[in-house]
Amino acid sequence: MTQPGPSASTATLGRTRGGSLLLVATNGPTSPVTTLQPSPTSAMSINFKGSRNAKCLPTGAHGKREWSAGLFGCIKEHTCGCLAWWCPCVVYGRNKRRLDHLSQLNIPDPKGSETICNSDCALHCCLTVGCMFGWALQVPNRSVIRSRYSIGGSGCGDCCTTFWCSSCELAQESLEIGLEEKSFP
């Protein structure tokens, strides 16, 4: 083993009070060079979320926007519009399931449009056929959707819309949820 001469470099490894590694290098007769290794940091998290305003609609003074499709936009979307007209319980059940899945897991429901009947659908059907109150289930769901997507409106407006135009509002909600689902990578 050889001893370092006057022009040889030496290095000393140590630790700081915080536990970080410390390297002190000396290049011969010059002053020592100190290098401090960075402390460990938490892992970077990548958040893949869909857009809740997929059409980039402008927001008003209170941060609220309009629906992506009008109340009668279901006329253009024949599949959902017809299903909402003839079987509103199925569309309600699908919307509820898709929205719950997005809210809980932040990813689209892989079976969202395939589900024909679930417990929400059955409850809506019983209330609609039994006493014409299926629309009452739609009011809180519409309010949740408005809140999630920062859409303007009120509880009274939700109640009137679901009572007077139940099928159209179900199709409108389905289109809004669908836009978020399509925006996922």
pLDDT digits (tens, 9 = 90+) for 72-103: 877 776 667 788 899 999 999 999 999 999 99
Q: Are 154 and 74 in contact (CB under 8 A)?
A: no
User: With 90 as the cut, is the pLDDT of residue 5 above it?
Assistant: no
What is the C-alpha to C-alpha distance for residues 67 and 168, in angstroms, rounded to an integer?
13
DSSP letter string, 78-112: HHHHHHHHH-HHHHHHHHHHHHHHHHHHSS--TTT
What is the C-alpha to C-alpha distance for residues 56 and 49, in angstroms, rounded to an integer?
15
27 DSSP β-pair partners: 9
Confidence of residue 40 (pLDDT cuts 50, 70, 90): low
Q: What is the pLDDT of residue 8?
A: 59
Q: What is the pLDDT of residue 122?
A: 96
Does the CA dihedral 77-80-85-91 come out positive or negative?
negative
18-27 long-range Cβ contacts below 8 angstroms, 24+ apart:
none
9-15, strands of its sheet edge to edge: 9-15, 21-27, 33-36
More confident residue, 122 or 69: 122
| Neighbouring residues of 82: CB distance < 8 A, sequence distance ≥ 6 | none
Chain centroid offset of residue 102 CA: 6
User: With 80 as the cut, is the pLDDT of residue 153 above it?
Assistant: yes
Asked whether the whole model's pTM tops 0.75, one would answer: no
DSSP H or E run through 26: strand 21-27
Q: What is the pLDDT of residue 112?
A: 73
User: With 80 as the cut, is the pLDDT of residue 22 above it?
Assistant: no
